[in-house]
Amino acid sequence: MYNEKVMDHFTNPRNVGEIEGADGVGEAGNPHGDFMKIFLKVKDNLIEDVKFKTFGCAAAIASSSMATELIKGKPLEEAWDLTNEAVSEALGGLPPGKLECSVVSREAIHMAINEYRKKQGLEPWEEKQQ
């Protein structure tokens, strides 16, 4: 059902944990029971460090792991623009019906970035209409 890359990120997820004193924290979940909490450390508009905790299926955990890999070291704007499709593609594809599991990571990233922006006295960014 899952390819080798998805299974690798599920069984050996990268960037798991919490960041004490994180600059931004975001949480998101979906009706299927997947839930993600993400922690960002930001320096000079770059995501210096990122950690996550996810409860959910293999696709949700693998997507969370890959999403953190894709945004680490990137400018906030680039992290904001990360799509579910990009996460799925980086994983070599997700099975039918599992792409929605990657939505949780994008939503949590957006929440964490906006929490950081609010702490900096900046306006939160708004979701783009798809």
pLDDT tens per residue, range 74-92:
999 999 999 999 999 999 9
In the structure, what pLDDT confidence band is assigned to residue 32 with cuts at 50, 70 and 90?
A: confident
Mean pLDDT of 19-47: 95
Q: What is the CATH number of domain 4-119?
A: 3.90.1010.10
What's the burial of 66, exposed, middle or buried (CB within 10 Å: 0-12/13-18/19+)? buried
User: Is the confidence at residue 22, as pLDDT, over 80?
Assistant: yes
The domain locations on the chain are: 4-119
Q: Taking the model in full, what pTM does it have?
A: 0.93
- In this prediction, residue 100 carries a pLDDT of 82
Question: Tokens at residue 14, please?
Answer: 């990268």
Task: Give the span between the Cα atoms of 66 and 114, in whole angstroms.
Answer: 21
- In this prediction, residue 130 carries a pLDDT of 46
- The pairs formed by 32-37 with CB atoms below 8 angstroms and a separation of 24 or more are 32/56, 32/57, 32/100, 32/101, 34/60, 34/101, 34/104, 35/104, 36/60, 36/64, 36/104, 36/105, 36/108, 37/108
User: Is the confidence at residue 103, as pLDDT, over 90?
Assistant: no
- In this prediction, residue 60 carries a pLDDT of 94
- Asked if residues 85 and 100 have their Cβ atoms less than 8 Å apart, the reply is no
User: Is the confidence at residue 102, as pLDDT, over 90?
Assistant: no
